[in-house]
Amino acid sequence: MGIFSQKGFSFDKNRTRMHGFLISGWLFYFFLHSLLASLKVKKYFSETFPGLNPYYRIAYNVIAIVGLGILLTFTLPLASLSVDTFIGSVITGIGLLFIVLAFRAFNLREFLGFQTETKSELVVTGMYRFVRHPLYFGTIILIAGLYLLMPSHMMLSVLVISYVYIWIGSRLEERKLRALFGESYTTYAKKVKSLIPYIY
């Protein structure tokens, strides 16, 4: 009942402009996130600023974390806490669990940029046995849980934008991985689903 409550989906004309700014902010955030992760941008930065190349990953993560924090700071207050918090909390927790399990396949210091990245190897163990993009899979579940916890038009917009980005982002990531690992990744992709284990 809380999901479809009048409070959760109330229109407030005074918030319309803020919603527009936030939606634009989320769109720009995801665009920038994919742009900075692309091989072309990384190569350009490495060739143009070779002395700063070791700090690219750190800067990328700082931009991602700070940007996400700013967006959530302004987005969450516009949502209304649902009456049905139990299901939302459980689903959010499951999403976080999958994200944590996915990170176990990485050297966290390398991932954050505090340690020089060694030669890239195709990861097919852990959560990657069940889905090619477990971080995206965990994020899909996490966002659904947050929406159930705080249903509103703003959170619905974030959910839709995030899901569209995840689909597009996974396609861009696939292109990059095929370029890096060639036939090995093609063979792996034939055996393991992309975003949802055993389904898609």
Full DSSP string of 65-106: HHHHHHHHHHHGGGS---S-HHHHHHHHHHHHHHHHHHHTTS
CA gap 162, 27 in Å, rounded: 9
Whole-structure pTM value: 0.83
- Return d(Cα 76, Cα 146) in angstroms, integer: 10
For residue 175, pLDDT beyond 50: yes
Q: Which residue has the tokens 């899909």?
A: 140
State the Cα–Cα distance between residues 100 and 111, nearest whole angstrom. Answer: 13
CA distances from 62 to 6, 9, 56 (A): 38, 33, 10
Residue 5 has pLDDT above 50, yes or no: no
The length of the chain is: 200
In this prediction, residues 109-129 reach a mean pLDDT of 80
CA atoms of 20 and 55, how far apart (whole Å): 34
- Residues 17-53 have pLDDT tens digits of 888 999 999 999 999 999 999 989 999 999 999 999 8
pLDDT at 23: 94
Q: List, for residues 91-113, the tens digit of each pLDDT value.
A: 999 999 999 999 888 877 777 77
Amino acid at 193: K
| 71 and 29 Cβ atoms separated by less than 8 Å | yes
Q: What is the mean pLDDT of residues 63-77?
A: 93
Name which of 6-15, 54-63, 151-160 the model is least confident about: 6-15
Whether residue 2 is predicted with pLDDT greater than 70 in this model: the reply is no
Count of C-beta atoms within a 10 Å radius of residue 36: 15
Structure tokens at 6: 């009048």
Residue 9 is predicted with a pLDDT of 47
